[in-house]
Structure 1
Amino acid sequence: MKNAPHSFLAVNSGIVLVAAMLSAAALPSWTQASVTQVTDGGYQGLFDVKVRKAFLAQNPLSDARKACLAVDADAKWLNIEVIKGLTTTEGYGTDRSGNQYAWAVMVLSGRALAGDKRAEEMLKTFLLKWANSGAFNETEKVHDAYYALKRLMLPTVVAYSIIRDGLSDDEQQKLIAWIDPLVRRTDQIFEGSVDYNNHRYLADSVLMAWGSLTGDQKLYQKGLDRFRVILGDARADGSLPLETRRGARALWYMRQSLTSMTVMAEIAAGGQNDLFGATVTADGRSKSMWTVLSYWMNGMTNPILINAYSAENYIPGPEQDFMTPDFGFLENRGNGRHYLAFLEALAVHEPTNFVQRRASALLEREGANERPLIDEFAGGNATCFWRVG
């Protein structure tokens, strides 16, 4: 576990801890008009696949294209045993049986995006095999099994968007018939905190991505609505109550929430909806994604800022001491994934505030030497999807 990044850009000394949650009676106002359909003229999915493919083809020596091709495809992936269903797990954690599937999908989709025709064919064959076998259809209807399903569905949706134009009508229909019901299952309500915390954010990022890609306006709207709810739930300092109570992993789950927020904002940009600039006002205070992001980075610099919340120690994970924050998300997790992947998407936007500049600095310091940054929560090879250099 890494130590706190004390060398990071200075924290805003004016931050004030807010110990109480915003009153449920204080209904926030939303500065961006709600939409009921994907705006005509916008791209669909997590990013504009055609534009990205063109960029990578026109810049064959770019670091972005190198990142897409950095991990070799393994023909053995085609022989991975199909998983019929995900199950609940004992104690802390979630079903990781789909990790090999997800890794294959994320690597192959990045390579296919960069023009690797062999990888594209492998990805098509791989997905069709799992679709024809009814993979994940028998997933247990419990929240942690569904959490694992959500993690797998986002890179699956992104992979489909990348190879869709090269599929026959029959192949498209087979994949849609498999993916669509699995995506919709992630909308399940379990009557608990998982219906409101990072589990729900992940679900709505998946639903929104699929809705954008298929033109399902109701699914797309779920992401816009959830983004608004997240900002409304955030405290004035940007902390998220259901995440910061998680003891040593308070910042870990704040980061997970920010990843899903970033995915929603990127999808919304394709529909001509600006979530990056959206704000919610409650009790006279305006909150945006940058408020949440700033709190997360401030907490890394000065962990004392989160102690009033993390002391609740609610399902804290492997570390029981809330005074010992888990900064494991700052490094490659040893299985190829990197939890800072979402920062790749933020880094390509022209900075409009100091928070964005801090985020870019964090990415360069903690993630630059570990690229490509690949993560299910970000949809796959984020460096391949967004890096411009």
Structure 2
Amino acid sequence: MFRFALVAAVFLAVSPALAQAPAYHADTVKAAQEALARLGYDVGTADGAWGPKSRAAMNELRAEHGLPEAEDFVGSSLWLVHRESPGETTLADPGLDLVDLVERRAEVEANPQLDALCRMPVGIGRAPRSVPAPDVVSPIAIPDGFIADDDDWYSAIQEGLVMAQGQCLAGAAGACRGIVQMATTWAEADALEPGVSRNHEMAEDVYWIANALLRDITFAYSTAIAFEEVEPVAHAHVLDWLKRRIDQYHFARRGPSESRPGDANYFPGSNHAMAHMQPAMAFGAMVGDRTMMQPAFDRWETVLGSMRNDGSLPTETRRGARWLHYSFVQMSQLLATELVAKRHGIELVPPSENQSVPNLLSFVTAGLADFDLAVPYAKANAGPGPSEDFTVPWVRKFYFGVIPGYRELYGEDEAFVAFRDGTVDADLCSTEPRLERKLKECNRFDEGPQTIAELVDTIGTEPFHSMSLPAGCFFSDVINPLE
């Protein structure tokens, strides 16, 4: 059920902690000051502090390019200095186009199957142009301490953005325009104000929702503007709004909260912690700023550094019956980070041979074959949440959306082949009442367990929309990349 109105219903008092500068702020400002100095402007000392001299110099540059004055260091200013005065932290070829978009569109248009894949509906996705701007993200939509189905107002927006991004890439001009319209409308409305402070007990969930939306908007918008012209001032307004919100929601806890010591979301290696870094990485890549990307790369290393030798992630296996769910979610974020890094020639090095995404894929392959694999971990580390019954699987078909991105990065390596040929635990597809989220599309195992490749054939191609982008549409040359 889509419950949009709940988001804007209440605005809780926000503490001054929201004004806390994100980890990348000083480095980003310093790079801008150095850029302005190279252009001949007087910024005083390039020290990473945004003061009157820096503001005056930046506004002079903005005026020269037809942009209005800005009190703060805004997104369009960051984009402008990297374009006009590249420096050490400027990406050589800014953008979030993980493939050559024009070339890829031609490939898709020439392949009816891929064209159909790119245009396919995704989940409960709503067309971006039809979604009104939510002014506040608040915990009123998550009253029981976790996000329940009836409180999920944001998935329809996320899935709609992914769906429109694929359609845009396939040549649907209306989809491209819809993404731009949504971004400009939300920027004009100054949408997604934080409804809680960082020390609020529900901050993790509220900030996760906002960061997921900001990440997906940035990915989709970056694709749309490759094909849809945006008026410069409107584009600047979108950049300003995105960076303002990304700065506010850039949220990194060092460890468990004293008030919620058992909650895996509070650990630096959790999927939430990784999700909080994704919007800044995407925005930095889009405008050409390396400094905003670094926290995501650091967190990528932190996550892998927590991995056990068997490929399991402690913060995800502690999630009760949802351990498989969160392991796939984390893998999608790790892969998205690697894909963005690869696009810009940045090498990410795993902490050790056993701490890698292929090792994680091997673990989830074993978990799909035997769901009870992680039960000992889950029982030992279970925290609060809706999945304390370890016997009932939580499985959704979008998990398999990681495969095109994985194959793009690692090819058909040993872990890929084992995944493709691996079997599926019959309990994941059983016809028993589904207390959680079993795969109702599976066959009934009349002839024994099926392979994962056969399962993907059975449940369809929709799973290849993941990682906040239409992964199959971007990377696949066949409908089923496990063939």
What TM-score results when the alignment is normalised by the length of structure 1?
Answer: 0.78
- 1:20: which partner in 2? none
CA contact (8 A) 1:64 1:384 kept: yes
Unaligned runs of 5+ in 1: 1-35, 332-337
- 2:311: which partner in 1? 238
- 2:471: which partner in 1? 382
Paired amino acid for 1:279? P
Higher mean alpha-carbon deviation, 254-263 vs 353-362, is at 353-362
CA contact (8 A) 1:243 1:254 kept: yes
SS in 1 for 2:400: coil
Are 1:44 and 2:95 an aligned pair? yes
Q: 1:131 to 1:361 in 2, by over 3 A?
A: farther
CA contact (8 A) 1:244 1:309 kept: yes
Cα distance in 1 between the residues matched to 2:400 and 2:274? 17
Which structure has more RCO (C-alpha within 8 Å, separation ≥ 6)? Answer: 1
Cα distance in 1 between the residues matched to 2:413 and 2:163? 33
Cα distance in 1 between the residues matched to 2:325 and 2:319? 9
Computing the radius of gyration from Cα coordinates, the structure with the larger value is: 2
Are 1:303 and 2:371 an aligned pair? yes
Unaligned runs of 5+ in 2: 1-87, 198-202, 257-264, 423-451, 479-483
Are 1:351 and 2:411 an aligned pair? yes
Paired amino acid for 1:231? L
Cα distance in 1 between the residues matched to 2:381 and 2:392? 11
Q: How much does 1:78 deviate?
A: 3.4
Render the CA deviation track for 1:223-258: whole Å, top value 9, x for unaligned: 221121112111122211111111111121111111
Paired amino acid for 2:290? Q
Cα distance in 1 between the residues matched to 2:456 and 2:372? 24
Are 1:53 and 2:102 an aligned pair? yes
- 1:25: which partner in 2? none
Indicate the percent of aligned positions where both proteins have the same amino acid. 19
Are 1:290 and 2:358 an aligned pair? yes
Q: 1:116 to 1:287 in 2, by over 3 A?
A: same
CA contact (8 A) 1:211 1:219 kept: yes
Paired amino acid for 1:354? E
Q: How much does 1:199 deviate?
A: 0.2
- 2:134: which partner in 1? 83
CA contact (8 A) 1:373 1:381 kept: no
Q: List aligned pairs for 1:124-135, cutoff 5 A.
A: 124-135=180-191
Work out the number of aligned pairs and report it: 337
CA contact (8 A) 1:96 1:148 kept: no
Q: How much does 1:208 deviate?
A: 1.6
- 1:178: which partner in 2? 241
Q: How much does 1:107 deviate?
A: 2.0
- 1:263: which partner in 2? 336
- 1:188: which partner in 2? 251
- 2:155: which partner in 1? 99
Q: How much does 1:286 deviate?
A: 3.8
Cα distance in 2 between the residues matched to 1:74 and 1:379? 12
- 2:164: which partner in 1? 108
Paired amino acid for 1:381? P
Render the CA deviation track for 1:16-64: whole Å, top value 9, x for unaligned: xxxxxxxxxxxxxxxxxxxx846535x632613xx13322224423422
Paired amino acid for 2:217? T
CA RMSD of aligned residues (A): 2.8
Q: How much does 1:75 deviate?
A: 9.4
Are 1:371 and 2:461 an aligned pair? yes
Cα distance in 1 between the residues matched to 2:369 and 2:310? 15
Q: 1:52 to 1:372 in 2, by over 3 A?
A: farther
Render the CA deviation track for 1:59-102: whole Å, top value 9, x for unaligned: 42342222111239999753433211111112253352223332
Paired amino acid for 1:229? T
- 2:20: which partner in 1? none
Q: 1:325 to 1:210 in 2, by over 3 A?
A: farther
Cα distance in 1 between the residues matched to 2:104 and 2:127? 30
Cα distance in 1 between the residues matched to 2:304 and 2:387? 28
Paired amino acid for 1:54? E
Runs of 4+ in 1 over 6 A off after TM superposition: 72-76
Cα distance in 1 between the residues matched to 2:101 and 2:413? 26
Paired amino acid for 1:328? V
CA contact (8 A) 2:325 2:394 kept: yes
Are 1:149 and 2:215 an aligned pair? no
